[in-house]
Amino acid sequence: MTTPVSGAFSGAAWMRRFADSARATEPQLTALDQQVGDGDFGINLTLGTDAALARLDAVSAPDDAAALDAAATAFLDDVGGTSGPLFGLLLQSLAASVPSSGATAATLAAGVADGLAAIRRVGEAAPGDKTLVDALTPAADALRSAPAVTPPAQALAAAADAAWRGVRETARLRASMGRSSYLGERAEGVPDPGAVGVALLFACAEGPVRDLTPFLDGGGPA
């Protein structure tokens, strides 16, 4: 469940909460990926967020763009495999779109849209392929439809709600891309771990996530 955070939005605080939440939910992510992938998604996500923390610590008082850029470089450079670097592309697009004067709903929307486009170009995945695209697409749609005056954390929370709905949809899908495509119907009923990671990222803009269960069961924010 999310805990509302009062006060101004901070990209650095967002990335730190993402790191805390990735570590807290790593066993659940690993258990999911052991059912539909090769079991390394949770570890790779925490490798990325831990590297992001190290890179954040090396920057004094990072503004939103610098914080997102540090996290992007961590995921792009410091994580093996492909899912971590694909997260890096999303973060890099956010970093490039958000001005150093601070994120707004509009700049976040533009960054997520760019990131989604880059991930789709690289991964050659479309909605319905049971990949992280199935969480990122509704999140991008939610951000695009948020009024320009929406506070950034609130816009991202709406994106998170949309992403969790996308995550739950992936449980009904049969994969045609990525590792779980080799499993065919055996992967049905299990949500895509990469999609869960995307929803987790957006959810952390508002507050930390300690347990994935309510979100995967649909008992989380509607």
Residue 182 gets which letter from DSSP?
A: G
Query: Three-class SS of residue 32?
Result: helix
Measured from the CB atom, is 74 or 203 closer to another protein? 74
Q: Is 86 in the site for another protein (CB under 8 A)?
A: yes
Question: Binding residue for another protein (CB under 8 A) from 88, 138, 166, 194?
Answer: 88
Q: Is 43 in the site for another protein (CB under 8 A)?
A: no
Q: Is 113 in the site for another protein (CB under 8 A)?
A: no
Question: Binding residue for another protein (CB under 8 A) from 28, 35, 82, 154?
Answer: 82
Helices 64-78 and 41-57 cross at an angle (nearest 10°) of: 130
Give φ, ψ of 177 to 5 degrees.
Answer: -125, 160
Question: Binding residue for another protein (CB under 8 A) from 92, 97, 131, 180?
Answer: 92
Rounded Cα distance between 143 and 215, Å, is 19
Rounded Cα distance between 95 and 216, Å, is 29
Q: Is 24 in the site for another protein (CB under 8 A)?
A: no
Question: Binding residue for another protein (CB under 8 A) from 11, 37, 123, 152?
Answer: 123
Measured from the CB atom, is 1 or 122 closer to another protein? 122
Measured from the CB atom, is 34 or 73 closer to another protein? 73
In order of 48, 103, 106, 117, 141, the CA distances from 111 in angstroms are 20, 10, 9, 10, 12
